[in-house]
Amino acid sequence: MICREWQRKIPDFLNGKMFLKEQEQFIAHVRTCKDCYEELEIMYMLAEGLKELENGSDTSFNFKHMLDKKLKTAQLQCERYNSFMRIKGLIFGAMYAVTAIGIIVQIWQWI
Ligand SMILES: [Zn+2]
């Protein structure tokens, strides 16, 4: 995917509307692409700044740090999802194996 397409997806990421698979690719991209990271930073600052203005609280936040934390949390979410899918795959694999063995044993008994 080209940078322009990733940049168009920044609001989805910030609003947590991105699919995990896509989120994973998105994070990997912004971590390596300076342009997209800067774009993300600007949009994040705007979004968070507006929120702070609405709440009327202190706007002297460290956006860079906050964004970094958001990215790390999102990445962790992807990793957890991946390991969950891996475990799920293993369990289903084992279940299929047990079922297959059961069928083979039954066929064996018929013969
Ligand atoms: Zn990019």
Query: What pTM did the predictor assign?
Result: 0.70
pLDDT at 78: 93
Range of the domain at 70: 3-110
User: Residue 89 above 80 pLDDT?
Assistant: yes
* 52 CA to centre of ligand 1 in angstroms: 28
Of 110, 41, 27, 7, nearest to 76 by C-alpha is 27
Rounded CA-CA distance 78/38 in Å is 22
* 34 CA to centre of ligand 1 in angstroms: 7
pLDDT at 54: 77
User: Residue 63 above 90 pLDDT?
Assistant: no
| Proportion of the chain above pLDDT 90, given as a percent | 75
| Proportion of the chain above pLDDT 70, given as a percent | 95
Contacts of 24 (CB under 8 A, 6+ apart): 75, 78, 82
* 81 CA to centre of ligand 1 in angstroms: 24
How high does pLDDT run on average in the chain? 90
pLDDT at 60: 63
* 39 CA to centre of ligand 1 in angstroms: 9
* 27 CA to centre of ligand 1 in angstroms: 10
* 23 CA to centre of ligand 1 in angstroms: 14
Residue-wise pLDDT tens digits, 22-59: 999 999 999 999 999 999 999 999 888 887 777 776 65
Count of domains in the chain? 1
* 71 CA to centre of ligand 1 in angstroms: 15
pLDDT at 34: 96
